[in-house]
Amino acid sequence: MGYKLVYFENKGAAEITRYVLACAGADYEDKRITREEWASTVKAQSPTGVSPMLETETRTYTQSLAIARFFANKYGFAGKTEEEKLHADMIVDTLKHDLLQKFFNAFFEKDETRKQEMVKEVFENSNKTLGLLEEKCIDGEGYFLASGFSWADMMLYNVAADFFPLISTNFKVNLSLDSYPKLKKISDNVSENPAIKKWVETRPVTEY
Ligand SMILES: N[C@@H](CCC(=O)N[C@@H](CS)C(=O)NCC(=O)O)C(=O)O
């Protein structure tokens, strides 16, 4: 079965799937398109009008987390039991929707005064969320799940390594895992994973 992951020439919403596929050692086409290609032809092929898109032999799918979750399940990174899968989903959704997405909302705010208020609010909330993840959401030793390495760990690494520096520079805040030693350990474990290391060293260099 040939899989084709279609996205822009950046990490963005596709990188979590690329991490899962790297850890699985899976063969797939990492198709990167320009904004012009997207607008002129590719967008029309997306079933919901957005990317990333996953093309299989029979269908095209969208939604970054649905795609990443599909591969996490397929290759054994989703959690070992139904409850662990729920736990991993909880972490992934918290990081994506309650943390990262809110910074994007602030980024796209046009009113400068409102933008500054949003950044302050989001920054404070993000630190509260990170504090709760640190205190209440880690069941394993160096991993979120008791059974060990999962895509929830990869999502934390994705958010911390690929987005925190960018957010910190853009919004002049210091968003990092430094005050959260258990989260930092999880992220470090992911960065030291040989498959992740190899992917990070060989992937196309992009800003975000
Ligand atoms: N919830 C969706 C959001 C997808 C999304 O907004 N994709 C953006 C790129 S990150 C896009 O396709 N923008 C181009 C467009 O909307 O035409 C997901 O996580 O995949």
| Atom of ligand 1 at shortest range from CA of 65 | 19
Q: Residue 32: what pLDDT? A: 98
CA-closest residue to ligand 1 atom 13 = 50
Ligand 1 centroid, distance to 15 Cα (angstroms): 13
Q: Where residue 172 sits, what CATH number does that domain have?
A: 1.20.1050.10
Structurally, how many domains does the chain consist of?
Answer: 2
Q: Which of 37, 60, 76 is the C-terminal boundary of a domain? A: 76
Which of 36-40's residues contact partners 24+ apart within 8 Å by CB, and which partners? Answer: 38/8
Range of the domain at 88: 82-192
The answer for residues whose C-beta is within 8 angstroms of residue 5's C-beta and 6 or more apart is 14, 17, 18, 21, 28, 29, 30, 31, 52, 53, 54, 55, 67
Q: pTM of the full predicted structure? A: 0.97
Ligand 1 centroid, distance to 51 Cα (angstroms): 5
Ligand 1 centroid, distance to 91 Cα (angstroms): 21
Six-digit token string for 25: 């050692």
Q: Residue 147: what pLDDT? A: 98
CA-closest residue to ligand 1 atom 2 = 63
Each residue's pLDDT expressed in tens, for the chain with a length of 208 residues: 699 999 999 999 999 999 999 999 999 999 999 999 999 999 999 999 999 999 999 999 999 999 999 999 999 999 999 999 999 999 999 999 999 999 999 999 999 999 999 999 999 999 999 999 999 999 999 999 999 999 999 999 999 999 999 999 999 999 999 999 999 999 999 999 999 999 999 999 999 9
> Is 144 domain-assigned?
yes
Q: Residue 155: what pLDDT? A: 98
Q: Where residue 29 sits, what CATH number does that domain have?
A: 3.40.30.10
Substitution candidate for ligand 1 out of 50, 102, 105, 206 with most atoms within 8 A of CB? 50
